[in-house]
Amino acid sequence: KAGVTQTPRYLIKTRGQQVTLSCSPISGHRSVSWYQQTPGQGLQFLFEYFSETQRNKGNFPGRFSGRQFSNSRSEMNVSTLELGDSALYLCASSLGAGGQETQYFGPGTRLLVL
Amino acid sequence: QKEVEQNSGPLSVPEGAIASLNCTYSDRGSQSFFWYRQYSGKSPELIMFIYSNGDKEDGRFTAQLNKASQYVSLLIRDSQPSDSATYLCAVIRGSTLGRLYFGRGTQLTVWP
């Protein structure tokens, strides 16, 4: 089975711009979770989608949003980028129905905001 | 109190030794427990998951869970230099499905 894929892998943006990141889960997985990883804060949860519905949301400002499509692919969007948004953005997929299943991570998108 | 705490390390062991990584969690309602390994510049890779009290073995890795003490550990036997990485403990709480709570990780170095 193919693993979780994320595009793009690297991105450079300037402050004030917006960005959209994409995640394709493992075939058959219906849950996609998004995390932000920085050296200072570690891995922090952004949100989770299951069957096109946001089931859980972390403590991030409204500039961070996401969605999930009927084929379980997910996108996250960050508007009005700030320098502090520079991070590795990871998505993880799981079977999802119970909410307790193992999550498998994609390779991540490394975002640099200048 | 943080949701998940790990011994911060770094931990350094010689090749062939046992590496012991520890983790405590704050929510008694937590039900699923995971250990991930992350190499520098890479994404987390699943090592083990455990749901029930006791030990779970997979090759050189053993996960131990004690829900009464709210404690999870990972033992790596016959450590190899390729095991050198950051090990992340993660927990899913019963009340927040689909959300992993991570510790800050323990950096392990295995020297030849």
Using CA atoms, how far apart are residues B47 and B106, in angstroms rounded to an integer?
14
The per-residue pLDDT for B95 is 77
The per-residue pLDDT for B8 is 73
Proportion of chain B above pLDDT 70, given as a percent: 99
Q: What does the pLDDT look like over B64-80, one tens digit per residue? A: 999 999 999 999 999 99
Closest CA relative to residue B21, chosen from B63, B70, B54: B63
Whether residue B102 is predicted with pLDDT greater than 90 in this model: the reply is yes
Whether residue B48 is predicted with pLDDT greater than 80 in this model: the reply is yes
* Most A CBs within 10 Å, among B3, B100, B104, to test the A interface: B100
Q: Could you tell me which residues are beta bridge partners of residue A31?
A: A50, A94
- For chain A, the farthest-separated pair of C-alpha atoms sits apart, in whole angstroms, at 40
The per-residue pLDDT for A7 is 97
Tokens of B73: 């550990």
Facing B96 at nearest CB: one of A56, A90, A103: A56
Whether residue A82 is predicted with pLDDT greater than 90 in this model: the reply is yes
Which of A84 and A1 is assigned the larger pLDDT? Answer: A84
Q: Is A20 helix (H, G, I), strand (E, B) or coil?
A: strand
Mean pLDDT value across residues B100-109: 95
Whether residue B38 is predicted with pLDDT greater than 80 in this model: the reply is yes
CA distance A16 to chain B (A): 26
Contact assessment for residue A54 and residue A33, using Cβ atoms and an 8 Å cutoff: no
Using CA atoms, how far apart are residues A76 and B96, in angstroms rounded to an integer?
20
Mean pLDDT value across residues A80-94: 97
The per-residue pLDDT for B97 is 79
Q: Is B92 on the interface with A (CB under 8 A)?
A: yes
Whether residue A87 is predicted with pLDDT greater than 90 in this model: the reply is yes
Whether residue B52 is predicted with pLDDT greater than 80 in this model: the reply is yes
Using CA atoms, how far apart are residues A17 and A102, in angstroms rounded to an integer?
34
Proportion of chain A above pLDDT 70, given as a percent: 99
- For chain B, the farthest-separated pair of C-alpha atoms sits apart, in whole angstroms, at 44
Q: Is A98 on the interface with B (CB under 8 A)?
A: yes
* Most A CBs within 10 Å, among B47, B97, B101, B104, to test the A interface: B97
Radius of gyration from C-alpha coordinates of chain B: 13
Using CA atoms, how far apart are residues B55 and B62, in angstroms rounded to an integer?
7
DSSP state string for A25-74:
PPTT--EEEEEEEETTTEEEEEEEEETTEEEEE-S--TTEEEEE-TTS-E
Q: A62 Cβ partners below 8 Å, 6+ apart? A: none
